[in-house]
Amino acid sequence: MIAVALSGGVDSSFAAHLLLQKGEKIFGLYALLSQPDPEKEIDRVQKICKFLKIPLKIVDLRASFQERVIAYFKDRYRRGLTPNPCIVCNREIKFGLLLEKAKELGASCLATGHYVRKVFNEKNSCYELLKGCDPGKDQSYFLALLTQEQLKDALFPLGEWRKEEVIRESVKLGLFSLTSPESQEVCFIKGDYRLLFAAEEFPPGEIITVEGKVVGRHRGLFAYTVGQRRGLGIRLGRPYYVIALDRDRNRLIIGPKKFLKRKSLLLQKVHFLCPSYREESFEALVRIRYRHKEARARVDILPSGEAQVNFCTPQEAVTPGQFAVFYRQELVMGGGEIKPYPPEELIQN
């Protein structure tokens, strides 16, 4: 028996259809997390399951989602970082608690609508994660922190498919009209993420240029992220961007676009999908955010367990709190969380 994590979107719904075509016994599994309109989404998923003629089971993970994902999200912003809740949610919730619930309900594994591939490598006795065949939809970045135990019990029916093919076939089936084309990436946010902090007080502070000149006041560091240009509330005659957030001094550091480029970064909480991938030093392609084109780099594992990433070509808008993911061609090796730069390195005087 296979549980299919249904979101109400076309991808997970079509993944369920593909498993049925193979003769698998399946049931739909919907997780209550923190969706803005859960009743509407439950109704949509019920209609999908009725269309597919499969049972639906609903599990309430709202408390755990609040503790493990939303609390993480808010904590990172309070620290002057830019979080990636989807990576944490996949590790902690979807392939963590939801997979556990699926097994309790009699499933041997959990299938999702991710565009990724999984293979078993007999040489290193590891389950390996590969990019999806659709380069425009590949979601391997979001699964880089999964464990071997989680990968073992995961199924990805859409790994060989392209998005346009999924939509075309879903339309033919009559399934597309029941689904939403895309699931919302940050499912607990409806509108501006800053509304999550509406009841909290954040002290304003100085806006300072990389030359050390104070040019204005910010409204609280939580409201800014590296690379941001709009919404700074200042006019300096040319475009200025957020270069860094100095949490210790409560300063927003801005500068011309050229200061966004960084030759290196430091990672904490480094994780490898397979133990055999871990080496003291190795060459890799590194992606520093979901839509970033991977860049060649050398990765050195430090005695502290952190990783130093040195790019062959400087990269723009390296954002503390986001995750850098290591690739070897199509293979996902692992990754870690980007640490902040010491602010004193950024001020020029």
**DSSP-derived secondary structure for 12-59:** HHHHHHHHHHTT--EEEEEEESS-SSHHHHHHHHHHHHHHHT--EEEE
From CA 11, how far away is CA 176, in angstroms rounded? 10
Calculate ∠ Cα 236-239-240, nearest 5°.
80
- Strands 26-32 and 2-5, how do they pair? parallel
Where in 86-144 does DSSP place strands (E)? 109-111, 116-121, 126-131
Domains of the chain (ranges, CATH numbers): 2-178 (3.40.50.620), 193-258 (2.30.30.280), 262-345 (2.40.30.10)
Helix (H, G, I), strand (E, B) or coil at 75: helix
The DSSP 8-state label assigned to residue 327 in this structure reads E
From CA 151, how far away is CA 317, in angstroms rounded? 31
Active site residues: 89, 187
Kindly give the confidence (pLDDT) of every residue in the chain, 349 residues in length, as a single tens digit, with 9 standing for 90 and above: 999 999 999 999 999 999 999 999 999 999 999 877 888 889 999 999 999 999 999 999 999 999 999 999 989 988 889 999 999 999 999 999 999 999 999 999 999 999 999 999 999 999 999 999 999 999 999 999 999 999 999 999 999 999 999 999 999 999 988 887 666 555 666 656 666 776 577 889 999 999 999 999 998 998 899 999 998 988 888 899 999 999 989 999 999 999 999 999 999 999 999 999 999 999 999 999 998 999 999 999 999 999 999 999 999 999 999 999 999 999 999 999 999 987 666 666 5
Q: Are 80 and 221 in contact (CB under 8 A)?
A: yes
Q: Are 179 and 9 in contact (CB under 8 A)?
A: yes
Alpha helices, H only, the chain: 10-21, 38-52, 62-65, 71-78, 85-89, 98-104, 148-152, 163-173
Any idea which residue has 């500068």 for tokens?
A: 255
